[in-house]
Structures are given as C-alpha cells and as structure tokens.
Amino acid sequence: MAHEAEHTSHTALIWKVFIFLSIITLVEVVLGIYKPASLHLSSFLGTSPLNWIFLILTLVKAYGITWYFMHMIDEKKWFRRSIVWTSIFLLCYLTALLLIEGSYIDGIMSPYTKWDY
C-alpha cells in the first residue's frame, strides 16, 4: 500500500495502460477482420490458433483493467486473492462442466439432424 504515493499523480502510467489496451484491441480487430487462413483454418489444442490468440489477449486485457484501472495492484495480497482466486476457481469449474456437457449433447444429437430433403 502506497498511501504516500496516492497523492502523487499516476497519469503517465494510466496513459501507458490505455495505449497498451488499445494496441491489444487493435490487434484483435485486425485479426478478426482478416482472419489469416493459417491461423483460422488450422487446429491447435481443440480450437483454432486464432481463437487461442483471442482468448489470451482477452485475459491480458482483463488483467490490465483489473490491476491498473481498478487498482488491484494496490490492494493487500490476500484481499486480492480472495476476489481473484475465488472467481477464477468457480469460473474454471463451471466452464469445464458446461462445455463438456454441451459438446456431449452435440455428439449425441447431431447425427440425428436431417440435412437431405
């Protein structure tokens, strides 16, 4: 906790974080528009490399916003953990359950979908 530092301005850091987040967004948008075939149509660990890039950049952006805009970095370590670890644990749990369930149903149902008329 830098209480003394609170009275000094962090403007430079804020603009740096903004530029960082903007560049990430720009990269996402450019990749999203052009969708390079080598990244989009190939497969890596269950999905396309492009999707992995999007997911990782999203998490990086979330980190930037939480740590620097929401000042998570200034909070006490265990307060931070009580928020971040709890959320991440529950989210991984729910994601795993529901996505596995979703693809299971897909596997069972899709052979029965009619496509020839």
Footprint of another protein (CB under 8 A): 1, 3, 6-11, 14-15, 18, 21-22, 25, 28-29, 32-33, 35, 40-41, 47-48, 51, 54-55, 58, 61-62, 65-66, 68-71, 75-76, 78-79, 83, 86-87, 90-91, 94-95, 98-99, 101-103, 105-106, 109-110, 113-117
What's the rounded Cα separation, in Å, for the pair 61 and 48? 20
With beta carbons less than 8 A apart as the criterion, state whether 25 and 61 touch.
yes
CA atoms within 13 A on the CB side of 7: 2
In sequence order, the β-bridge partners of residue 44 are 47
CB of 9 to another protein, least distance (A): 6
CB of 88 to another protein, least distance (A): 10
The length of the chain is 117
